[in-house]
Amino acid sequence: MGGLPALTPSPPWAAWDHPGSRHWPDRDDQGRDLNHTHGPAWVDTAAAQVRQRLRTCTEPVRAGHGDWESQNIRWADGQPHAVHDWDSVIAQPEAAIAGLASAVWPATGNPGEAATIQQSADFLSHYQTATGQRWNPQQTQDAWAAGLWVRLFNAKKDAASGGGPQLDLLASQITERLARAGLAPAK
């Protein structure tokens, strides 16, 4: 049996690992080039920091789902029964996959839905318990950085539309999310 296929490119909301030299992938999930969108400088500054941090990650790549919003999961008797939307499969380090999920899992498809900082922290803690792992500080920071990437991506999309709930929500959380990712405050 061969190795893991490339599974690239990642969908844009998970594509901190895109091959381009600019902050954002060439096209978002709506076909726009967010690199040409004016918006708060702190969004682009933070995205550059997140991307730089995660591109230096040397953890092994794993296959995983890249869009763990709750509308992509069906439940039966309080247990996950099926996961939908497997066109969002990605190949990234495990902490990055879990970090992406930790930032968006409560979203049901309505505008502005995302995890609070405490919900993200709880998710990452429970994930480690469920998998029998204890991450080192770098893995934990990588998870927070990956979660921040998807939140920055959604905020940048809001900026492209003139503003919105994702941008507003992240503005109130950016300093703490950057700190948890081991990154400097965005200015």
pLDDT digits (tens, 9 = 90+) for 151-175: 999 999 999 999 999 999 999 999 9
Which residue segments constitute the domains of the chain, with CATH numbers given?
Answer: 41-180 (3.90.1200)
Please report, to the nearest 10 degrees, the dihedral formed by the alpha carbons of residues 50, 165, 159, 49 taken in order.
-10
Q: How far apart are CA 150 and CA 170, in angstroms?
A: 11
The CA distances from residue 47 to 33, 108, 142, 181, 186, in Å, are 15, 24, 13, 12, 9
Residues 43-60: b if buried by 16+ CB within 10 A, e if exposed: bbbbbebbbebbeebeee
pTM score, whole prediction: 0.92
pLDDT digits (tens, 9 = 90+) for 108-155: 888 889 999 999 999 999 999 999 999 999 999 999 999 999 999 999
